[in-house]
């Protein structure tokens, strides 16, 4: 099994390299590396290609080009939610000594591998110049600091533990109260199943890990979940066994996994499915006009609540940009980082992306509907870090968890799954 999984990863990387060789620079896959004009082109590497996220990137790009008329923005985005494919391609570029000028990364443990490998320059000088320590939350600055140095510029805050649902589908199924616990969630899924509709919409492989983190948080509770990333972690005990059995039950209601999170979310918005558990980037996709989203009406076509069992806890992640060592256009990369860090850039980007700003001085009038709820909860809830989106685990540990989830989806063996997760934690080196 493990060899076949490794081979699949190798095929994915090979395919990405082929895309790089023949890409046209559009948003559907890996863009062809820029040729010539190294002093003027700025290669920005991300995984923002889908509706909502691509619109947010475009809004920030327009500010960049207005501020820097002598520079050309080169969009090197690689399609694929959560960035797994992008990170695989990025690894090959860094190993070959051909880094992009700047690349997207999740703030937190995800960046540690790049830092240890010497791939990133610290950006403390930008924090000093732009006085970013005064406008970013202290806990966020702490999370992105390693040995007293800072290596990324966060552009947003996302919430991972959001349950999106279709009110009409729940009404049809006789679900009168939005499920607040895992037990209530399972009961609601069963009622929806009886109507013939899809109880739980699921996307590609990484969305199963995204679902897992919310189930672990909802079953274990915030303190025990946060302890998983410390020396006091208990991956082998009965509480974890109970959580993984709940995950197995919930997964049994997910049918017809989609190619990525957007098609799964669309099933909910269109009334084909009742629920999906996805980060709040889904809000931009649901809400934005049809040229960049689904143009749906909140509280009618879709609604939201904390993932079952997680009310009062904000499971967070933050998209950020870095300054790679050996960037061909270091000055251009710094110019991009200044836009990503700015109030103007974050207020242009986040309402379209479906996220809230990392800065504390943003224009709150721009953040309405779901985003107003997120701003309020970010300031008052307990915090827990995302697994899939790089806050709590480094890339090697996250890859091991992804592999364990993939094997579990085939075997449905909870004991083997729990043992694999315990081994992943033991061998994490974090």
Please check whether residue 410 is in contact with residue 130, taking contact to mean a CB–CB distance below 8 angstroms: no
Share of the chain above pLDDT 90, in %: 75
Model pLDDT, residue 2: 31
Is pLDDT above 60 for 38? Answer: no
Given 2.60.40.1230, 3.40.190.10, 3.40.1440.10, 3.90.25.10, which CATH number is that of 159-315+390-426?
3.40.190.10
Per DSSP, the residues of 177-242 read S---SHHHHHHHHHHHHHHTSEEE---SHHHHHHHHHHHHHHHH-HHHHHHTTSTT--SSSHHHHH
Domain boundaries, the chain: 2-155+321-367, 159-315+390-426
Torsion, CA 305, CA 207, CA 100, CA 352, rounded to 10: -30
Model pLDDT, residue 430: 66
Is pLDDT above 60 for 32? Answer: no
Q: Span 25-49, mean pLDDT?
A: 64
Q: Span 172-192, mean pLDDT?
A: 98
Element (H, E) at 340: helix 330-341
Element (H, E) at 91: helix 84-95
Question: What rounded mean pLDDT belongs to the chain?
Answer: 89
Q: Span 266-288, mean pLDDT?
A: 94
The string of pLDDT tens digits covering residues 300-346 is 999 999 999 999 999 999 999 999 999 999 999 999 999 999 999 99
Model pLDDT, residue 82: 67
3-state secondary structure of 111: helix
The string of pLDDT tens digits covering residues 135-169 is 998 878 887 788 999 999 999 999 999 999 999 99
Which one of 180-194, 253-267, 282-296 scores highest in mean pLDDT? Answer: 180-194
The string of pLDDT tens digits covering residues 342-388 is 999 999 999 988 899 999 999 999 999 999 999 999 988 999 999 99
**pTM score:** 0.84
How far is Cα 362 from Cα 45, in angstroms, rounded to an integer?
Answer: 25
84 pLDDT tier (thresholds 50, 70, 90): confident
Model pLDDT, residue 354: 86
Output the CATH code of domain 2-155+321-367: 3.40.190.10
Instruction: Please tell me if the domain spanning 2-155+321-367 has the same topology as the one spanning 159-315+390-426.
Output: yes
């Amino acid at each position: 099994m493990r060899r076949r999984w490794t081979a699949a990863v190798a095929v994915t990387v090979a395919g990405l390299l082929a895309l790089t060789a023949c890409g046209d620079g559009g948003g559907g896959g890996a863009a062809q590396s820029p040729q010539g004009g190294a002093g003027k082109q700025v290669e920005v590497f991300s995984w923002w290609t889908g509706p909502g996220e691509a619109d947010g990137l475009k809004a920030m790009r327009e500010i960049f080009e207005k501020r820097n008329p002598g520079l050309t923005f080169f969009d090197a985005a690689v399609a694929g939610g959560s960035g797994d494919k992008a990170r695989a391609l990025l690894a090959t570029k860094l190993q070959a000594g051909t880094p992009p000028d700047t690349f997207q990364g999740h703030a937190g443990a995800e960046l540690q591998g790049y830092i240890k490998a010497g791939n990133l320059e610290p950006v403390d000088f930008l924090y000093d110049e732009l006085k970013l320590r005064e406008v970013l939350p202290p806990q966020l600055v702490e999370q992105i600091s390693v040995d007293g140095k800072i290596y990324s510029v966060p552009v947003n805050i996302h919430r991972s533990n959001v349950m999106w649902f279709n009110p009409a589908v729940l009404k049809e199924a006789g679900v009168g109260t939005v499920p607040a616990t895992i037990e209530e969630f399972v009961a609601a899924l069963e009622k929806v199943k009886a109507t013939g509709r899809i109880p739980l919409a699921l996307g590609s492989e990484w969305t199963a890990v995204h679902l897992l983190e919310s189930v672990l948080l909802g079953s274990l509770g915030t303190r025990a979940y946060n302890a998983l990333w410390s020396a006091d972690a208990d991956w082998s005990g009965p509480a974890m066994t109970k959580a993984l059995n709940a995950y197995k039950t919930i997964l049994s209601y997910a049918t017809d996994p989609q190619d990525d999170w957007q098609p799964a979310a669309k099933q909910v918005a269109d009334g084909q499915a009742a629920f999906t558990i996805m980060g709040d980037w889904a809000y931009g996709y649901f809400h934005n006009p049809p040229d960049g989203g689904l143009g749906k009406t909140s509280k009618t076509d879709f609604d939201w609540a904390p993932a079952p069992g997680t009310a009062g806890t904000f499971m967070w992640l933050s998209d950020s940009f870095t300054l790679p060592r050996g960037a061909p256009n270091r000055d251009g990369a710094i110019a991009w980082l200044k836009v990503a860090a700015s109030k103007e850039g974050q207020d242009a980007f986040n309402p379209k992306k479906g996220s809230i700003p990392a800065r504390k001085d943003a224009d709150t009038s721009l953040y309405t509907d779901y985003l107003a709820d997120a701003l309020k909860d970010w300031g008052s809830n307990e915090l827990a870090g995302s697994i899939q989106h790089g806050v709590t685990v480094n890339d090697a540990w996250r890859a091991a968890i992804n592999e364990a989830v993939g094997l579990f989806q085939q075997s449905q063996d909870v004991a083997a799954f729990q043992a694999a997760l315990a081994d992943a934690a033991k061998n994490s080196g974090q």
